[in-house]
């Protein structure tokens, strides 16, 4: 899987390794009931911007986890 700013949370949440990385960054979307209805539209770049998460580091960590 090629992960970039356009990758949706829905795509990432299908893999437990990705969920583990997202949880490490404390993304509130993972526990938000409203976000669960919009996961297919929530792009990781937008989520990072909204919550002040370092997108570059998150994408690097997700990419590393994807290769494991």
Residues whose CB falls within 8 Å of the CB of residue 61, separated by 6 or more in sequence, listed in order: 21, 24, 25
Q: Give me the percent of the chain exceeding a pLDDT of 70.
A: 100
| Per-residue pLDDT tens over the stretch 14-34 | 899 998 999 999 887 777 777
1 part of a folded domain: no
Give the sign of the dihedral formed by CA 38, CA 39, CA 41, CA 43.
positive
28 part of a folded domain: yes
Q: Note down the domain range covering 41.
A: 9-67
| Per-residue pLDDT tens over the stretch 43-53 | 999 999 989 99
43 part of a folded domain: yes
16 part of a folded domain: yes
2 part of a folded domain: no
Q: What is the pLDDT of residue 63?
A: 94
* 58/61 Cα distance (integer angstroms): 5
31 part of a folded domain: yes
The count of domains in the chain is: 1
């Amino acid at each position: 899987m090629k992960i970039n700013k356009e990758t949706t949370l829905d795509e990432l949440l299908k893999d437990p390794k990705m969920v583990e990385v997202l949880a490490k960054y404390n993304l509130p979307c993972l526990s938000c009931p409203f976000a669960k209805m919009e996961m297919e539209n929530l792009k990781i770049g937008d989520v990072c911007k909204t919550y002040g998460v370092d997108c570059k580091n998150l994408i690097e960590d997700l990419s590393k986890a994807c290769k494991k």
